[in-house]
Structure 1
Amino acid sequence: MTLSQRWFLLGILVTTGGLVYLLSPILAPFLVAMILAYLGDPVADRLEAYGWSRTGAVVGVFAVMTLILLAVLLIVIPLLGVQLKYLVTNLPDWIRGLEQYLMPRLKAYLGADAEQWQLSSVVASLKESWQGIGNLLLGGVQSVSRSGLAFAGWLANLVLIPVVAFYLLRDWDILMAKLSDLLPLNLQPVVGKLALECDEVLGAFLKGQMVVMICLGLIYSVGLWWVGLKLALVIGLLAGLASIVPYMGFILGIGAALIAGLFQFDGYLPLLLIGAVFMVGQLLEGMVLTPMLVGDRIGLHPVAVIFAIMAGGQLFGFTGILLALPVGAVIVVLLRHLHDHYRQSHLYHADTHERTNEN
């Protein structure tokens, strides 16, 4: 890479970062559409290999996505609403029961005054919050209804995502080829190699981990439903979504399920069964799902995933969260190559070269 090419690349990076920062309020639907197109491109390519036209393959992918979305809307959301209503109704009573059970023991063993914890005020605040949720949502809907511009903007974003995703998916291979042709000729082999590695890391994470999350959500939800837990779907979906970071879904899910089970069940057998459900899910994730769907190609440490998501949200809001993992995958690949170059450079072997010259 020549000096002028380095300055040109630096200028592109700075300009791109500035545009993302300035345009972040409107970039979210386009980024969501890009993610959908990226996830759907391998399926469309496979359908093309079977003789489908590109447009027909894209229509087929979108038809499957639409059916999945309708199934979620018609089946999952009503059940989720019933369980959330149960949670909202009973959570203040659960906190009060926890206060009556826990506070005397804290006072006996730690000498802590129950009044210092002020759980009663927490319960009162939660009640006010639960009562205000409905009013807030109703007020938000009424506000959106009164503001034609806000409603139009929300509707435009909702319609924009599938439209942009359709055209991106249809022309994805053409766009990638044109971007490759824009690179300087001397950089195309190296950048092409880096791009393939980035695609492997990002694809392994997004495509594989999303399937793992869905499978774990189903396993936890069905298992907790079999145990008889009333919040099975809520906790199962929460654990599945949180499993984007290894072990976080297991920790959050089993903690929430055991707390809910303590208030719902009288004996200890259901609690043991809840623990068994999460142990089975964890074993399936570690021994079957992750090796089969993700493999060892990801290269993104759980701490790096957490940091990337938090840093992206802090810098660019929701747009930064969407960009966090793709940018993190690129940084991981670049750091890997920088590490290899450093191990081969005179900076790493300085003493060896000096001793060789002295001899």
Structure 2
Amino acid sequence: MGTLPYANVDSSLRAMGGRAEGFGRFAIGGLHGPLYSVTTLSDDGPGSLREGCRRREPLWIIFEISGTIHLSSYLSVSSYKTIDGRGQRIKLTGKGLRLKECEHIIICNLEFEGGRGHDVDGIQIKPNSRHIWIDRCSLRDYDDGLIDITRQSTDITVSRCYFTQHDKTMLIGADPSHIGDRCIQVTIHHCFFDGTRQRQPRLRFGKVHLYNNYTRNWAIYAVCASVEAQIYSQCNIYEAGQKKKTFEYYTEKAADKEESRSGLIRSEGDMFLNGAQASLVTGVDECVFHPSEFYPTWTTEVPSDSLKEVLKICTGWQSVPRPTEQIVV
């Protein structure tokens, strides 16, 4: 068994700041702001989550209560915010979070379930948002995506999340006309995609590094590379159900190109179980980025049954205590 990432991020309340692995590694959230305590499950008003997220100054948002917050509309998150669910059990339902033209966001230890309406995602990241870390969240049953990253949003890490009971799980790059999405860079690691049907993720244009994720029992495909996508799939576990095709390639035409093309997937050290078929395009490895071109280190291990068991337990919302605030004198 290898070393899991983030051994020390719960050592003190703000130890998560700037500690993500991968493309979201610079996300500091509300590291340099005061604490904001959510004291009500109301959708809005004093002490509500919405009130804290709309404030312009940096805030480290914590919860003094557990329960369900019914969102009547998207909850917009402004820059330099940490939404820290450790120590409580908070479920968001009805709608989701919207990260629009913001930066330095950390979202940790929340549940998202039952988002209803056209274009309603659990976490919608667009446009022009960056330096984002989503960690230890459970997401299921939304009418659109669980996490969607589009419109030139980049430098994002999704880690230790649990995805289930859903169709179109993660869309990264929404449309072949949005050629600005060539800038997108996302890291997804130590996540558990448990029976979600497709898009774990589906990528257009950008670069995605997948490592040490466990994806099982998909219904269409596990991972899809559309127009100009580059996916580096490293040491993941792909366990097929009835559908055996792991990787899919959809051909589309970028708005500024004459010819249609699909994307590329490079698989290194992945484990394919229960007849999962890699269906890789040969000779493309040198055409796909390597993460070491962008960040120096990340925590990975050879996929195994023990890693599978750990990911079943350690992904999604966790019953962990809220760390204490370290007072610097």
- The bucket for the TM-score relative to the shorter chain is under 0.3
**TM-score under structure 2 length normalisation:** 0.23
**TM-score under structure 1 length normalisation:** 0.21
- Looking at CA atoms only, which structure, 1 or 2, has the larger radius of gyration? 1
Report 1 or 2 for greater relative contact order, CA contacts < 8 Å, sequence distance ≥ 6.
Answer: 1
Give the structure with the larger strand fraction.
Answer: 2
